[in-house]
Structure 1
């Protein structure tokens, strides 16, 4: 996915009233999965994440995928998040009972 789409996705998630918890992040060439909040929309840079976790100044093209986990207490409304993200146009979205995933690369 290109830089513009990642910025749009992250801005929607940062501003969403339907996201109330950190998300899972996985980066290309890194097997670790990070559990961190979405950076504030105003802090997103043109080509990279801001200087904050999960990966300070990581380029958007280094994001393999991000996942919004469902929460038992209903803090994350995955149906509404899906609708908000779908409004951006075609995105590589997938959904299960446990999460909503936005994929940067199809391997």
Structure 2
């Protein structure tokens, strides 16, 4: 699959949400040359999968890639249709990256 990477056994990482589909288009822009959103998501999934491994933050709800996917789905109703129509691919990329990285501060190594 072109838009899928598998990690840790059967867990697949895909760019399935509408915000990610728009954000992926920004890869073609000169300003983001070399950026690969799927690779970033895969790396984020690996890092977020470490949260709570050593008992730190284990009282929190899961903050793995499934949490990120749910937040991305929420953007469909959070962002008004009128706003979506004027957003650029770069706008979508910045929002998606913000969602991807928002819990990185919980990673304790």
**TM-score scaled by structure 2?**
0.28
Structure possessing the higher relative contact order (Cα contacts under 8 Å, 6 or more residues apart)? 2
**TM-score scaled by structure 1?**
0.28
Q: Which has the higher strand share?
A: 1
